[in-house]
Each structure stands twice: as C-alpha cells, then as structure tokens.
Amino acid sequence: MTTADLRHLLDRFSSRSPSRGDDGDNAFRTGLPAIDRLMPKHGLSRAAVHELLMPLNLPMPRAFALLLARSAMKQGAIVWCDPQRTLYPPAVRNGGIPLERLILLRPRNDAEAIWAVAECLRCRGVDAIIAAPARLTQVEARRLQLAAEAGGGAGILIRPQGRASTHYAAATRWLVTPAPGKPSVQRWKIQLLHGHGGRVGESVLLEVNRETHHVRASEALADRPPAAKASRAS
C-alpha cells in the first residue's frame, strides 16, 4: 500500500465516522470485571497508547490485544500492522471485529511502519490500531502518543520485555505471559505494570476457548480473595 493509498483509505473511514468530541465516552472497558478492576478509575483512555509487554521468544499476546481493540471499537476502523503476514483474519472476526472494519498494514521496514502507525493514530476514523514495533526511541514513542491524542483512537503496542522497550510514552503498560492451559483453551497471565490510578502489580488470568471463542477472565490465585468469582463474556 502506497502513502497515497493509505491516506485515501483513512479519509474514507474518517468521512463515515462522526466527529469525535467531548462526548463523555473517552474511555473504554473490556466488560470483564476481573480485568476492568485493574484499570484506572474511568477505564483505558481512547486517545492514548497502551503497551502489552511480552517475554522474548514467546507467542505474541494477540488475544489480549484483540480484546482491547474490540472494546475500543465504536464506528471506525480497526487497523492491524502485520508486516510478516502472519495474522489470520478469521481469528479477528471470531474475536468480534467485522472484517469490513479491519485494515491490514504491511509496511516494508521499521521506518515505514512507524510512519503508517502514526498516520492511522491521527485519523479520526480509526478506533484502534495494533502494532508490534521491535524498538522505539523516546522521540518515536512520544510521536505515537501525540498522534493518538490528535486522532482520539487507542494505540495498542505489543512490545518485547526488556531493554528494547525502555522508551515509552504509554498511559498503561501490561505484562502478558503464557499460562498453562488445555488443547482447547488458551491462557494468559496479565499484570498491570503501569497506569495512574490502576491496581499496579496485580494480575488476572485470561482464557480463550479455541472452539467457542468465548473469553473468560478470573483473578490470579495470588490476588484472589476467598469469595472471588470469575467473570465471563463471549
């Protein structure tokens, strides 16, 4: 996709989406109480970047990224930066995002990817964008945050844990690590690492049923009070 093609596509979504203003709907939640209780008081800001950190050489936490993108979705597009062409669109559809609302970005290099992600974040017609930059400078991290503030959509960045993610300008940061599961159930441990007003340091378990695509979240055992109950959503 050329620069002109991307801008034309973004303009088309912008024209179909109402102008964003101070409508009292500047934050979003997942609808899963176990996860939402970790968030800042009003939820996750739409006009901000949120980072999902993952240990090196482990599977990408797409399930949590997809959950956040679906939760941020209003009437605009969901953009997924997929330079390696590994995304399986039916999985996105099964996660609750209509494919007609999905834009796939396939940049040729890191510089092009940062530019494209920033352009999408500035677009009023984009509700959320998911990208996995290998490394960001402080300037690039700040550039993406400013773009999100201008466009009003949520940036969801999947980044490797460690030195490669030293620089950031995210409103929240989450550590996502695989947890033991079953052949039919995928499990992730999700811990809030950074978020003003949130329950930093606490974690939950996120489960995705591979067959029914139902999503379930429960408090991690270390954080769970005796009478805690799991929360569910489909």
Give the pLDDT of residue 162. 86
Is the pLDDT reported for residue 21 higher than 70? no
Two tokens at 51?
Answer: 């980072």
Q: Which residues pair with 76 in a beta bridge?
A: none
Upper half-sphere CA count for residue 128 (Cβ side, 13 Å): 23
Q: Which domains are assigned to the chain?
A: 26-233 (3.40.50.300)
Q: Which residues pair with 218 in a beta bridge?
A: 205
Give the pLDDT of residue 182. 86
Alpha carbon distance 100, 98 (integer Å): 5
Q: What digits encode the pLDDT tens for the residues 32-82?
A: 999 999 999 889 999 999 999 998 877 788 999 999 999 999 989 999 999
- The region of weakest confidence among 132-136, 174-178, 206-210 is 132-136
| 101 DSSP 8-state letter | G
In 3-state terms the chain splits into helix, strand, coil percentages (rounded to 5) of 30, 30, 40
Report, as an integer, the average pLDDT of 137-162. 95
**Among 66, 172, 65, 169, CA closest to 118:** 169
Give the pLDDT of residue 5. 67
Q: Mean pLDDT score of the chain, rounded to an integer?
A: 87
Alpha carbon distance 44, 52 (integer Å): 13
Two tokens at 216?
Answer: 């379930």
pLDDT confidence of 163, banded at 50, 70, 90?
confident
